[in-house]
Structure 1
Amino acid sequence: MYTLIAAKKECSVTGRKYSYNQVRVKSRNLGGALRKKLNLEKGDGGGGGGGGGSRAGLICTTINPIYTPAEIARHLLDSTAKALITLDSLWGLAQASTNLMKKNIPTLTIATEQGQSTPAGAISFTEFTNLQTECTDVKSSSDDVALLPYSSGTTGLPKRRIAHSFQYSIKLMSVAAPTGWLQPKDYRISPKKAFIIKTTIPNHQDVNPAVLPLFHIYGLTILSWYQLRLGCKVVTLPKFTPELYIDTIRKQKPDVLYLAPPLGYGLTETSPVILSTRISLLKNKSCVGALGLPVPNTEVKIVEADDASGTPLGPNQVGELLVRGPQVMKGYFNRPEEKNVFLDGWLRTGDMMYYNDDGFLFITGRLKELIKVKGFQVAPAELEELIRDFPNVVDSAVIGVPHEKHGEVPRAYVVPKQGAKIDEKKLREYVASQVAPYKQLTGGISVVDSIPKNASGKTLRKDLLLLYQSEINKC
């Protein structure tokens, strides 16, 4: 929902600011209060919490605030959360979610407007961040689980990946390495060249608007934690609107913008960066259109999709990308059956790629069923299960189809019961009422006689994509 972790942070709407010292003190207070007031112990799970939760040795997870109560309840149950931090304005959503769980979870709320009072039944976040306790910081090791970021994985319903504090330390060092992705400098290179981030010095502090959501692995790792390491000022946008975005840029005059283009590459399972194009490589024409090279301390290889031996392919041969490195997850939380995502210690990404003679990697498609809508991950299985609960539906399948604005959007193929009819408009409305906006069936609905499947019963999504292409050609 909302996590108060930042470098020097300023709200673009209220103008409320926090210095580095305030963030440090309030994080320590929060960690102590969570332990003393809520009796939380090292290893307990919580939604939000960030810096304070980490200092208390808690395992934190983040939640998208546009989720429905059912989605949030499933997230909280799966992560075994024992506390929740959100905004006053989202108190109703939080209550509806915990009510579905039939479980009382202490909820801290943050006031975002002047004169806003803590809702009845909630705990004041400010009270906890201002409370000085005698609790000492919890001693943690690099192998302790620090975060359970959201991911849909390669198949099935959404799941949490296990992230250790060591992985994030490595990631922050990797992007700042001399050959890394975002090498910090104490000077600015020529405006005619690519931009390099500037570390904070007495007479300058980089300003970066938090356009990316901090519950997303990209925003959390790069925009928040990396900026904290550099001493930058992060300006938060409670909600993205073109007007607020433009106004923030006009007032703050930012130095760097972190955005989500239609094509970028990374995985929650890898914290999330694997590949990047260094500034020094831009002069090489063979990198045009590429995802780049592996970041420091990271190994990748391309293998045949069905090759259990993991034998690497040569240049210009398309295969599945496998990755190995200290930032790669140890596995999915409470999902031992998902161990097949690894092959001899290598993470199988499910993404089809090739590399050219200069070693630059290019993506060609995906093996996995994941649908990516505006950078958000949508698991087809989640929507299919929902659709099958709709009246007169006997079977369903969901695929991602191209969309000019969102990159991909879900499209459903539905099989009605014999002699029955499906009201497509009502089905679309039903799904929309149960899921977040980006999971809705924006790609449309097709009623079909059957879903193509192989001998083992697995949906043949490639056949559905061909069917979609034929439908488009007829239009």
Structure 2
Amino acid sequence: MRREPSKMSDTVPSALVFEGRVYTRVELDELAAGLADELAGRGVLVGQRVALMSSNRPEFVVAVLAVWRLGACVALISPAWKRDEVAHALAVTGAVHALGDCAVLGELLPMRYLGDPITPAKHTAVQSDPTSEAVLVFSSGTTGMPKAVRHTHDSVAVAVRQWTEVLGLSGTDRIQVATPPSHILGLLNILTALRAGAWMRLHRRFDLNTMLSCIQDDRITIEMAVAPIAIALASHPELERYDLSSLRYIMWGATPVTASVAETVTARSGVRWLPAYGASELPVIACNPLDGARLDSVGKAAPGVRIRVVDLETGKPVGAGETGEIQCRSRSLMAGYLPTEATAEAFDGAWYRTGDVGHVDAEGWVRITDRAKEMIKVRGFQVAPAEIEAILHGHPKVIDCAVFGTPDPRDGEAVVAAVAVLDGVSADELITLVGERLASYKRPRRIVFVPEIPRLPSGKVLRRVLEERHGRPTDQ
């Protein structure tokens, strides 16, 4: 079905379009004011943390704006999470109020259901301290359960300005958002579009044909993609049928660029790519220049971001072109983690340790070559091996286990679990066990049964040995 939301925007600029509904910025603000009045009546106070677990919907945007109008902080919880994960998030953040449309959150905390009507109002927003908490997003750590990344109003505002600048986004642009808004990229895209006054379509869920149809019908100018979307575009049998000429570029983020895939899409559609690099802790680290983007680099440091590379052994800065851990500084950097004890190891003095290995050449081009940390990155989401291992260790017939990632052309990485077990346990049983407790993207793609898990005398798992032995599907 052809969509023509731009008719209204000829007279009243639209801020957000969702299915058949068009919202102006004034309408969003009045809905946010009305919800803020409700939340104030429920006892939400300045500085408190409010849990938000919501699917992609306009009320998500309204909820974030409403919480900020009260000077409170919004804690974003993935709608894909199961009960144990949500309970952990609430315990870590200390949230005492909840908004959303996911039953699991309502079972754990009194929740204002976002599907209920919101009465527009005029509400005077609290003038927030720039250094106060604005949003908590979750990023898993190597110690197991996810930790919350603390961003202040200032760090969010700086990140939005940086993203606006590197994308060259303006009020004449049109974008669409299908990525989860609880993820830093989804949130950043929404906030940046609102700040720039760009036209934005929000999708309930991702569907490739719908995405292509909207590019054509809505005349989208900037598209966002991660590896699975790029691969789907490259392999789409009817890609040429869609008119994608309105696109200035497609931004590739969250996972490394696969040059052959990107080149195939460009050859078939004529659309170029803009690789970029960021993290939950520092949303905008680097981006390719709008004029002269290349596929072999994530680009150059974003405005206001300083990047250095340090030796993996000594921790001392290295010269141009030398490989080491990439570290960054910026006003858009997180204030720290919750729990707070996780913060120290993420920093080297004032420098944020990305855990990524790579180098920066003399002209400032950044290249990522490996990861120093053990995190597995699936479709842009970080997965902690220890979190999955804790579930597997809970099975009475599992003797030992270790989880690692292997390269995957579709998802960036795939989760593989090496397991030593007693007789009578199937791979499907273990995969189902994890799937019942954790989000679907954390479920192992494969189970490899091994006689024992290789470890150092200290007990540290030799994951690279497992990767070398069992990293390919043919080794299963």
User: What TM-score bracket applies, with the shorter chain setting the length?
Assistant: 0.7 to 0.9
The aligned runs of 1:197-212 (5 Å cut-off) are 197=169, 199-200=170-171, 205-212=172-179
Would the aligned equivalents of 1:342 and 1:348 in 2 still touch at CA under 8 Å? yes
Would the aligned equivalents of 1:32 and 1:132 in 2 still touch at CA under 8 Å? no
The aligned runs of 1:63-462 (5 Å cut-off) are 63-87=77-101, 90=102, 92-96=103-107, 98=108, 105-111=109-115, 124=116, 126-127=117-118, 129-130=119-120, 136-153=124-141, 155-176=143-164, 180-183=165-168, 197=169, 199-200=170-171, 205-221=172-188, 223-261=189-227, 262-263=255-256, 265-270=277-282, 272-282=283-293, 288-307=295-314, 310-417=315-422, 420-442=423-445, 444-462=446-464
Q: Deviation digits for residues 272-320 of structure 1, max 9, x if unmatched?
A: 11011112344xxxx550111111111111111232xx42111222111
- Cα distance in 2 for partners of 1:409, 1:241 equals 22
Specify the SS of the correspondent of 2:86. Answer: helix
- Cα distance in 2 for partners of 1:131, 1:279 equals 41
- Cα distance in 2 for partners of 1:360, 1:390 equals 47
- Cα distance in 2 for partners of 1:297, 1:153 equals 26
- Cα distance in 2 for partners of 1:243, 1:357 equals 42
- Cα distance in 1 for partners of 2:377, 2:451 equals 27
Specify the SS of the correspondent of 2:144. Answer: coil
Letter in 2 for 1:291: V
Specify the SS of the correspondent of 1:410. Answer: strand
- Cα distance in 2 for partners of 1:393, 1:317 equals 43
Aligned to 1:192: none
Would the aligned equivalents of 2:30 and 2:122 in 1 still touch at CA under 8 Å? no
Residue-pair matches, total: 408
Specify the SS of the correspondent of 1:465. Answer: helix
Q: Deviation digits for residues 334-360 of structure 1, max 9, x if unmatched?
A: 232441211111111111001223221
Identity of aligned residues (%): 27
Q: Which of 30, 40, 43 matches 1:39? A: 43
- Cα distance in 2 for partners of 1:227, 1:181 equals 13
Q: Which of 13, 25, 30 matches 1:25? A: 30
> CA, structure 1 residues 173+241, in 2 after alignment: closer, same or farther (shift >3 Å)?
closer
Would the aligned equivalents of 2:142 and 2:385 in 1 still touch at CA under 8 Å? no
Would the aligned equivalents of 2:73 and 2:136 in 1 still touch at CA under 8 Å? yes
- Structure 2 gaps of 5+ residues are 1-12, 53-62, 228-254, 257-275
Would the aligned equivalents of 1:41 and 1:58 in 2 still touch at CA under 8 Å? yes
> CA, structure 1 residues 379+448, in 2 after alignment: closer, same or farther (shift >3 Å)?
same
Aligned to 2:249: none
Q: Deviation digits for residues 107-143 of structure 1, max 9, x if unmatched?
A: 12233xxxxxxxxxxxx3x24x43566xx43232111
- Cα distance in 2 for partners of 1:356, 1:132 equals 52
Letter in 1 for 2:305: T
- Cα distance in 1 for partners of 2:475, 2:211 equals 41
1:11 aligns with 2:18: yes
- Cα distance in 2 for partners of 1:142, 1:451 equals 48
Would the aligned equivalents of 2:33 and 2:121 in 1 still touch at CA under 8 Å? no
> CA, structure 1 residues 38+159, in 2 after alignment: closer, same or farther (shift >3 Å)?
same
Specify the SS of the correspondent of 1:269. Answer: coil
Compare the two structures and name the one with the higher strand fraction. 2
Letter in 2 for 1:71: E
- Cα distance in 1 for partners of 2:126, 2:361 equals 48
Letter in 2 for 1:429: T
Cα distance, 1:244 vs structure 2: 3.0
Would the aligned equivalents of 2:469 and 2:475 in 1 still touch at CA under 8 Å? no
Cα distance, 1:265 vs structure 2: 2.5
- Cα distance in 2 for partners of 1:107, 1:474 equals 47
- Cα distance in 1 for partners of 2:292, 2:212 equals 31
- Cα distance in 1 for partners of 2:380, 2:220 equals 23
Cα distance, 1:390 vs structure 2: 1.3
Letter in 1 for 2:277: Y
> CA, structure 1 residues 168+394, in 2 after alignment: closer, same or farther (shift >3 Å)?
same
Would the aligned equivalents of 1:154 and 1:349 in 2 still touch at CA under 8 Å? no
Q: TM-score, normalised by structure 2?
A: 0.80
Cα distance, 1:18 vs structure 2: 1.4
Aligned to 1:117: none
Would the aligned equivalents of 1:395 and 1:414 in 2 still touch at CA under 8 Å? yes
Cα distance, 1:154 vs structure 2: 5.2
Would the aligned equivalents of 1:155 and 1:368 in 2 still touch at CA under 8 Å? no
Cα distance, 1:472 vs structure 2: 5.3
- Structure 1 gaps of 5+ residues are 1-5, 99-104, 112-123, 184-196
Aligned to 2:246: none
Would the aligned equivalents of 1:155 and 1:369 in 2 still touch at CA under 8 Å? no
- Cα distance in 2 for partners of 1:55, 1:345 equals 31
1:60 aligns with 2:74: yes
- Cα distance in 1 for partners of 2:156, 2:404 equals 33
Letter in 2 for 1:463: V
Would the aligned equivalents of 2:329 and 2:350 in 1 still touch at CA under 8 Å? yes
Specify the SS of the correspondent of 2:44. Answer: coil
